[in-house]
């Protein structure tokens, strides 16, 4: 096991609060094989750069770039990677100490003669806004421990139900390069087209039984006006995802699952955009975008209920 098996790629921008714990979680892997950690510092202006200088480890490779966004940083880290498999780790999250070993064991335990393109795994959500309580998530639980490769065809499209984020997965680098799978140059929702192209392209997916990741939720501030047109960026990601999905030859077979994904994505971002001045632009787009699936009414009803719940929660907290 002399070659580098895994490259952990961490995009970093102003992550001084959590980056130390994040890197330590990557360094403290139980995996005995060779792996590396690539931190792509995306022009941080806080103390992140200073914190990076505290680490002295031969497994750690640090690149300091101008600020170009998380998509550029992940693409950059992937191109620099020496590992056979890429594991993406966000700078405010934590990698389980057995993550790499779990990925490695999943490959070794399969009945296939070749290696998988993608390995999905369960994960934990850390709810920082709720006293750091955790929640276990496993979108593809029914396929856990399957020793044969999964694909869109033999799961009836259910691989599309995996989490869209790049983390809690391992991607074979050769597979990504061969198929031109990379993150679109954006600051928001850049992982959505990446997910679809990877899952639709692959016929060799495995699912690990054990959790590999801790995703931190509830600590991120609301999106602020001025830095980017956040609404426009998500719209671009949704349209790019459509372009990828509808170029898939059997898209009609799986359109119902894709449509449900689109509804959930629109609802997620509509909630994130509640404090933006141009939020109505996204609401209108979503209504029109979902019309082809006859989900426009569902979108507006669920958005109304979500906003009503928020108002009630604020009222009760005041009382």
Q: What is the pLDDT of residue 313?
A: 65
More confident residue, 146 or 145: 146
Q: What is the pLDDT of residue 187?
A: 83
Q: What is the pLDDT of residue 52?
A: 97
Q: For residue 163, is pLDDT > 70? A: yes
Q: What is the pLDDT of residue 131?
A: 63
Place of tokens 């995703």: 215
Helix boundaries (H) for 68-127? 70-80, 99-108
Q: What is the pLDDT of residue 134?
A: 87
Distance from C-alpha of 88 to C-alpha of 233, rounded to nearest angstrom: 21
- What integer is the mean pLDDT of 233-245? 97
- What integer is the mean pLDDT of 306-313? 78
Q: What is the pLDDT of residue 114?
A: 96
Q: What angle do CA 196, 198, 200 make, to 5 degrees?
A: 65
Q: What is the pLDDT of residue 316?
A: 62
Q: What is the pLDDT of residue 41?
A: 97
Q: Write the pLDDT tens digit of every residue in 50-108.
A: 999 999 999 999 999 999 999 999 999 999 999 999 999 999 999 999 999 999 999 99
- What integer is the mean pLDDT of 198-212? 97
Task: Answer whether 240's CB lies under 8 Å from 193's CB.
Answer: yes
Task: Answer whether 225's CB lies under 8 Å from 276's CB.
Answer: yes
Q: Where are the beta strands (DSSP E) in the chain?
A: 4-12, 34-42, 60-65, 85-88, 94-95, 118-120, 123-127, 133-137, 169-172, 205-207, 213-217
Tokens encoding 179: 């198929």
- What integer is the mean pLDDT of 284-311? 93
Q: What is the pLDDT of residue 127?
A: 83
Confidence band of 129 (pLDDT split at 50, 70, 90): low
Give residues with Cβ within 8 angstroms of 130, minimum separation 6. Answer: 218
Q: For residue 24, is pLDDT > 60? A: yes
Q: Write the pLDDT tens digit of every residue in 168-188.
A: 999 999 999 999 999 998 888
Strands across the sheet containing 123-127: 94-95, 213-217, 123-127, 133-137
Q: Write the pLDDT tens digit of every residue in 184-199.
A: 988 889 999 999 999 9
- What integer is the mean pLDDT of 267-288? 94
- What integer is the mean pLDDT of 221-237? 80
Distance from C-alpha of 82 to C-alpha of 84, rounded to nearest angstrom: 7
CA dihedral 24, 46, 40, 20 (to 10 degrees): 0
**pTM (2 d.p.):** 0.93
Distance from C-alpha of 253 to C-alpha of 256, rounded to nearest angstrom: 8
- What integer is the mean pLDDT of 16-23? 97
CB atoms within 10 A of CB 124: 19
């Amino acid at each position: 096991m002399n070659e580098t098996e895994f490259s952990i790629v961490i995009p970093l921008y102003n992550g001084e609060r959590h980056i130390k714990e994040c890197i330590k979680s990557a360094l403290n892997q139980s995996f005995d094989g060779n792996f590396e950690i690539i931190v792509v510092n995306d022009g941080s202006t806080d103390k992140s750069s200073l914190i990076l200088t505290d680490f002295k480890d031969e497994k750690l490779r640090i690149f300091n770039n101008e600020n170009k966004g998380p998509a550029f940083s992940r693409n950059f880290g992937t191109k620099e990677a020496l590992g056979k498999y890429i594991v993406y780790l966000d700078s405010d999250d934590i990698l389980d100490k057995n993550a790499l070993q779990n990925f490695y064991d999943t490959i070794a335990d399969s009945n296939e003669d070749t290696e998988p393109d993608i390995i999905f795994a369960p994960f934990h959500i850390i709810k920082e806004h709720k006293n750091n309580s955790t929640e276990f998530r496993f979108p593809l639980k029914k396929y856990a421990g399957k020793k044969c490769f999964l694909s869109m065809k033999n799961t009836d499209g259910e691989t599309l139900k995996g989490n869209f984020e790049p983390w809690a997965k391992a991607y074979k680098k050769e597979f990504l390069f061969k198929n031109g799978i990379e993150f679109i140059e954006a600051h928001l929702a850049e992982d959505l087209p990446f997910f679809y192209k990877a899952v639709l392209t692959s016929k060799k997916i495995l699912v690990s039984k054990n959790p590999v990741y801790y995703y931190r939720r509830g600590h991120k501030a609301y999106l602020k006006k001025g830095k980017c047109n956040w609404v426009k960026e998500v719209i671009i990601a949704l349209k790019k995802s459509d372009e990828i999905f509808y170029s898939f030859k059997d898209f009609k077979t799986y359109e119902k699952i894709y449509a449900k994904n689109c509804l959930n994505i629109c609802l997620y971002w509509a909630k994130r955009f509640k404090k933006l001045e141009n939020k109505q632009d996204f609401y209108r787009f979503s209504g029109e975008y979902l019309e082809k699936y006859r989900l426009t009414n569902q979108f507006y009803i669920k958005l109304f209920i979500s906003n009503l719940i928020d108002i009630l929660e604020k009222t009760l907290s005041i009382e």
